[in-house]
Amino acid sequence: MRHLVKTLLGFAVLLVPTMAPAATVVGGDTRVAFGAAIAGLEAQLLGTASLVGGAPGLTVNFPITGGTLDEALSGAIRHDGSGVSLSNGTYTLALSNFVIDTSAGILFGDAALNGAVVGTALDLFNFDLSTVTVPQLTDLGNPLLALVIRPTASGALTAAFGLGDTAGVTLGLAATAPQIAAIPEPGSWAMLIVGFGLVGGSIRIRQARTPGSVPA
């Protein structure tokens, strides 16, 4: 038994530094203040997206529905069931189900034109997290992270509205404040590993000491 404890402790020490499980994103909001790139187009909110009252121009909240983030903020932040549509009266381009990929610096989303699906998980916008601090990134009252139109989104805007090449143009400014589920500290992981090992070892010892049944 003593040997088992030593083995488990050694295993835990080796394992804990490499165990940095990604935290689960359980809620929060991402806010986007749209700029002049969509001037002249009528915007409508989709699903659970909501208009931010009192904000200048078109500012929209997109509820965060899930995702994962590690200690370096690498991961994905999902916004299922919300979006925004843009229309010129003839064509309507709907963008929805956004996913912020913080590792790639890309915001993905689904697109539909007049109700017909153009594509899913399309690379729509770029962003550069190095341009903002964490407090700035999470300040919903003052979005500062630039969302830059990628060629995929530019092509969709051109096809729908004839806007020309908008790749590289800033669509708007964003902030995101994800809520993270609590996860065990590294020390807790070590104790859990040892605890599970001790329970398993004691069960095996008891089983080994239990006498077999005696035939009648």
Q: Which residues pair with 25 in a beta bridge?
A: 180
pLDDT of residue 36: 85
Phi, psi for residue 76 in degrees, rounded to 5:
-140, 145
**What are the residues whose beta carbons fall under 8 Å from the beta carbon of 15, sequence distance 6 or more?**
189, 190, 193
Instruction: Collect the ranges in the chain with pLDDT lower than 70.
Output: 1-20, 183-216
- d(CA 47, CA 36) in angstroms, rounded, equals 24
> Would you state the structure tokens that stand for residue 120, as one six-digit string?
């899913």
Domain positions in the chain = 2-18+184-209, 23-180
Tens of pLDDT, residues 165-175:
999 999 999 99
pLDDT tens across 27-46, in order? Answer: 999 999 999 888 889 999 99
Please tell me the predicted confidence (pLDDT) of residue 199: 42
pLDDT at 183: 63
- In whole angstroms, give the CA distance from residue 48 to residue 13: 45
CA separation, residue 42 to residues 65, 85, 92, 93 (Å): 26, 8, 9, 10
pLDDT of residue 214: 41
Length of the chain: 216
Q: What is residue 92's predicted lDDT score, i.e. its pLDDT?
A: 97
d(CA 109, CA 149): 12
